[in-house]
């Protein structure tokens, strides 16, 4: 009993000292954390002030706030479509026979119509060709009329060049015009004169033309 009583005061003093140290350590830790909280609170208040200043500046400049991207929505699953049932249109024997008869009768009519159309188009083309060729004047008439309109003698090259401009579709050549002029001179419907090495042609006088016409009538 005496040993237990002697050891009790020593343990009490040790616990007391340990608790005192723990209390002191706890108090210092609380002071440190409180200081950090105060510093963070100051930083937070400074950030909040800067935020309000920036918002006011943005509103003053009229800038719209940055748009927030919408969250992507899941696409709906495709709905499987069921094909509608086919409708039955009568029996095979009643629906197919008329179509076959029509197809068989069609070829007998089409070739005849095509032949008639082809013959009609050929006859029309021939009629147009005949009327077009008969309506066009001959080269002799063109050369004679051109000489009658001129007040000065013209060479065969000049006559061919002028007629080629007036009738580009006829492809008039100088040699053909020269032969036509010589035939008119032979019929006394044109006159030929030579200046140096060049030959010029003029229209025939009315008397010579009448004489040539009388010769033609007498020979007829």
pTM, 2 dp: 0.35
Q: Which neighbouring-strand residues pair with 191?
A: 202
For residue 93, the model assigns a pLDDT of 46
Place of tokens 């013959």: 119
Tell me the backbone φ, ψ of residue 107, rounded to 5 degrees.
Answer: -60, -25
Cβ partners under 8 Å of residue 173, min gap 6: 160
At 12, list the tokens: 């009490």
- CB of 139 within 8 A of CB of 172? yes
| Nearest alpha-carbon partner for 182 in 164, 207, 200 | 200
Each domain of the chain, given as residue ranges in start order, spans 11-61, 136-205
Cα within 13 Å of Cα(20), Cβ side: 6
- CB of 201 within 8 A of CB of 159? yes
- One digit per residue, the tens of pLDDT, for the chain of length 220 reads 445 555 677 888 888 999 999 999 999 999 999 999 999 999 999 999 999 999 999 888 887 555 555 566 666 555 555 556 565 554 444 444 545 545 544 444 455 555 656 666 665 665 555 444 456 788 889 888 988 998 889 999 999 998 989 888 888 889 999 999 999 999 888 988 988 888 999 987 654 445 545 555 565 4
- CATH no. of 136-205: 1.10.10.10
CA distances from 154 to 67, 150, 166 (A): 91, 8, 16
Output b/e per residue, 51-67; b: 16+ Cβ within 10 A: eeeeeeeeeeeeeeeee
Place of tokens 């210092």: 28
For residue 109, the model assigns a pLDDT of 47
DSSP annotation of 90 reads S
- CB of 156 within 8 A of CB of 199? yes
């Amino acid at each position: 009993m005496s040993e237990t009583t002697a050891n009790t005061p020593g343990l009490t003093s040790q616990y007391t000292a340990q608790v005192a140290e723990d209390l002191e350590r706890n108090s210092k830790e609380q002071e440190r954390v409180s200081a950090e909280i105060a510093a963070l609170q100051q930083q937070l208040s400074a950030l909040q002030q800067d935020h309000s200043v920036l918002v006011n500046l943005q509103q003053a400049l009229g800038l719209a706030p940055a748009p927030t991207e919408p969250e992507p929505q899941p696409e709906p699953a495709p709905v499987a479509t069921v094909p509608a049932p086919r409708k039955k249109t009568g029996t095979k024997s009643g629906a197919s026979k008329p179509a076959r008869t029509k197809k068989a009768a069609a070829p007998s009519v089409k070739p005849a119509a095509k032949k008639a159309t082809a013959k009609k188009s050929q006859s029309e083309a021939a009629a147009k060709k005949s009327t077009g060729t008969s309506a066009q004047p001959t080269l002799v008439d063109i050369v004679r009329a051109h000489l009658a309109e001129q007040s000065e003698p013209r060479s065969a090259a000049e006559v061919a060049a002028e007629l080629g401009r007036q009738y580009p579709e006829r492809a008039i050549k100088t040699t053909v015009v020269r032969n036509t002029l010589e035939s008119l001179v032979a019929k006394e419907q044109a006159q030929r004169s030579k200046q140096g090495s060049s030959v010029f042609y003029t229209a025939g006088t009315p008397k010579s033309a009448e004489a040539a016409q009388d010769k033609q009538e007498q020979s007829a």
